[in-house]
A and B are shown apart, each in its own frame.
Chain A
Amino acid sequence: MLELGFDAITWYLVISTAVLMFGMVRLLLVRDLVARLVALDVTGLGVLLMLVALAARSSDETGAQAAETGAAGPDAVLQALVITGLVIAVAFTGLGAVLIRRIEGAKDTEGSDSGEESPSTAGERDRDD
């Protein structure tokens, strides 16, 4: 397929779009909660991969602009976006995992011992109204 004349960055863009689409379709079609969370992560990775590829490309094509912003390598602005995106991906995966664990725990036991409480509910001395 390489004879299509794509350079490496274009390949990355194509791959990232495919990853994004697969993740999104899976997210919208599957019912299992863990599978949906993983699909959401895959979608997020597709987006981040696309941003990295775009960062590399824009430093290739608009070298003048990169010099203007003082960034020697790939586009610093886009890379900052990617790092923030990674942090947020960790945050939502954690939140989703806690919620799934509680939902499944409640389904399994129907008792009061379903999962841990959030750390903020440790001492309970709030009953004076």
Chain B
Amino acid sequence: MTELVEFSLGALVLLPLLAAAVVMLIGHTARRVLGVVTAVVTAGFTVPVVATVADGDAPELVLGGFTAPLGITLRGDGLAAVFLAGTALIAVVLTVFAALVPAATGEHLTPSGWRPGHPGFWPLWLGCWAGLNGVYVSGDLFNLYVGLELVGLTAVALVALGGRKSWDPALRYLFIAVLGSLLFLTGVGLLAAVTGTLDIAQARAVLEEVEDPTAGLLALSLMTVGLGMKIALVPMHRWLVPAHSAAPAVVSPILSGLVIKAGLVILLRVWLWAVPLVAEAIWLAWLLGALGAIAVLVGSVLALRQDRLKPLVAYSTIAQIGYWFLAFPLLVTEHDDAGAAPGAYSAIVALAVGHMVAKGGLFAAAGYLKLRFGTDEIARLRGAGAQYPALILAMGACAVGLIGLPVSLGFAGKWQLATAAVGAQQWWVVVVIAAGTLLAAGYLLRGIAPLLLQAPQESDHQLPDTGDETAPAAAGSKTRAEGAGELLILLLGVATIGTGFLGSWIYDLLGVGLW
């Protein structure tokens, strides 16, 4: 059993990477088949790791027998298991969706013009998945950095698959993502210079004995700013909306659901595992908390003002990112109390995983609608619900998760966060949560409700290029594969509700291998 678990731990990273290399060499239809097979097998490897962690063990794999500081160690603890499982779910659904609806993977240029579908999606997406899994299970800062870069660069290339309109946002994303990881690398270098090791556990042990916290604090600040850029915390959020809305239909949910979570996982690893400078870092935690509060409010208000569906969903991501940082002051100030800190920590993870599933579904639905109707302007999508009932149902279920209504992980996370805030007597956190929840209900209702309304009978203000009798006209009838794709999005909606029942299981799982 242990051998299987150790093998799975390595395979989770190496299998998608290998498949990404192989998939570049084969034809376009074969890419879709191999992509789906890889996704299912990789998700299968997640099972033994998560099962072992659920039993209370934290499996570890020392690659090639070289031990730290020079060797590579993979660790599967509670945090890794939760994110591995969530990622496997989203990744399998989105991979099958991309295989069924190739047009969702972007568009590519041929001698006869732009054609839907981009075969470059497959190697990039599998490489991105390998990077994500690498970030989750990595036991040292060096591999965290490599995984972060792999995820970042493939994500930029994935955005660029969306054709000419997506190149400018992709380049902007590249600048910010690389600058962020350079700052992170500087922090890693400082830590390594102080401690002489890159292994997270060893670095922590050395840092606990160093009296002068300045170097550790500087490293922590640099890494936090760099990761803040990659996660799009509020003053550094401007790149996210164009990149996530210009990306192809199946890439937006990958970016919003998975890629920014890689930054969050690394941030948690650094704050809770690598750098035990809790007392000295309180001001930084409060700064993050304040920025998080601003993100929740500003992101929600900006989402309310959008006229198009994909930017609306993208601004909602900025607001949701705010909740994770809102919990940071609680995480640190209550650290030595041992009571409230796990509450704030599991609140962050529950909110992040809930967001992963719900935003994956919502962005996939929004992208699919844009694909079918050629536009994502909410006014012109009026009445689309009549043709796509399953899609609208999925969007409703995802909205439940994003607003934080019971039963969903969004609700469980907000509940734990509010409980931790009351325990620490930080009432302003509760106020921000309440305001953010109300605003979220507002902007999601504004985005989804028009789809359910009766389509206007006479199309008086329609642009000539649609030329339709009932306002939103889908481009051609949908094939059977696309119908199955809709059901997959509905599956994500159902999962948004279903994972809500796992709140306490996740709380127990997170306790395994805690700092």
Listed in ascending order, the chain A residues whose CB lies under 8 Å from chain B are: 20, 24, 27, 33, 36-37, 40, 43-44, 47, 50-51, 54-55, 57-58, 62, 65-66, 68-69, 75-78, 80-81, 84-85, 88, 91-92, 95-96, 99-100, 102-103, 106, 112, 114, 117-118, 120-121, 123-129
Contact = CB atoms under 8 A, between A and B. Distances in A.
Specify the main secondary structure of chain A where it touches its partner. Answer: helix
A69 B170 contact: no
A77 B70 contact: yes
Nearest to B101: A129
Contacts of B168: 103
Contact of B178 (A20, A40, A62, A125): A40
B174 A95 contact: yes
15 contacts: A27-B179, A47-B189, A54-B192, A58-B196, A77-B197, A91-B149, A99-B171, A102-B167, A112-B114, A117-B108, A120-B120, A123-B27, A123-B28, A125-B29, A126-B117
B69 interface: yes
A65 B481 contact: no
Nearest to A84: B146
B156 A81 contact: no
A99 B196 contact: no
Contact of A129 (B113, B181, B185, B479): B479
Given A77-B198, A102-B167, A124-B115, 9 more contacts: A81-B192, A88-B153, A96-B175, A99-B167, A99-B170, A103-B171, A123-B28, A124-B28, A129-B479
Given A95-B174, A120-B24, A75 B179 contact: no
Contact of A76 (B70, B110, B118): B70
Closest 6 CB pairs of A and B: A126-B28, A54-B193, A65-B196, A51-B189, A120-B120, A99-B171
A60 B492 CA distance: 55
Contacts of A118: 120
Contacts of A81: 142, 145, 185, 188-189, 192, 198
Interface of B: 24, 27-29, 69-70, 102, 108-111, 113-115, 117-120, 123, 142, 145-146, 149, 153, 156-157, 160, 164, 167-168, 170-171, 174-175, 178-179, 181-182, 185-186, 188-190, 192-193, 196-198, 479, 481
B174 A121 contact: no
Contacts of A20: 186
B28 A125 contact: yes
A95 B153 contact: yes
A40 to B, nearest CB: 6
A121 B109 contact: yes
A43 B182 contact: yes
Nearest to A20: B186
Nearest to A102: B167
Contacts of A91: 149, 153
Given A36-B175, A99-B174, A106-B164, A78 B193 contact: yes
A69 B69 contact: yes
A69 B196 contact: yes
B109 A117 contact: yes
B110 A124 contact: yes
A48 to B, nearest CB: 8
Contact of A125 (B27, B113, B175, B479): B27
B176 to A, nearest CB: 10
Nearest to B154: A95
A77 B202 CA distance: 13
Of the listed residues B70, B108, B167, the one surrounded by the most CB atoms of chain A closer than 10 A to its CB is: B167
A99 B160 contact: yes
B167 A50 contact: no
Contacts of A85: 185
Nearest to B189: A51
A55 B185 CA distance: 14
B28 A62 contact: no
Given A99-B171, A129-B479, A75 B193 contact: yes
Contact of A78 (B149, B153, B189): B189
A31 to B, nearest CB: 12
Interface centre among A50, A55, A88, A103 (most CB of B within 10 A): A88
**Residue with the highest number of chain A CB atoms closer than 10 Å, among B110, B120, B186:** B186
Contacts of B175: 27, 36-37, 40, 96
B308 to A, nearest CB: 22
Among A33, A44, A95, A100, the most chain B Cβ lie within 10 Å of the Cβ of: A95
Given A77-B69, A103-B167, A121 B479 contact: no
A71 to B, nearest CB: 9
A84 B102 CA distance: 35
A103 B170 CA distance: 10
B109 to A, nearest CB: 5
Contacts of A124: 28, 108, 110, 115
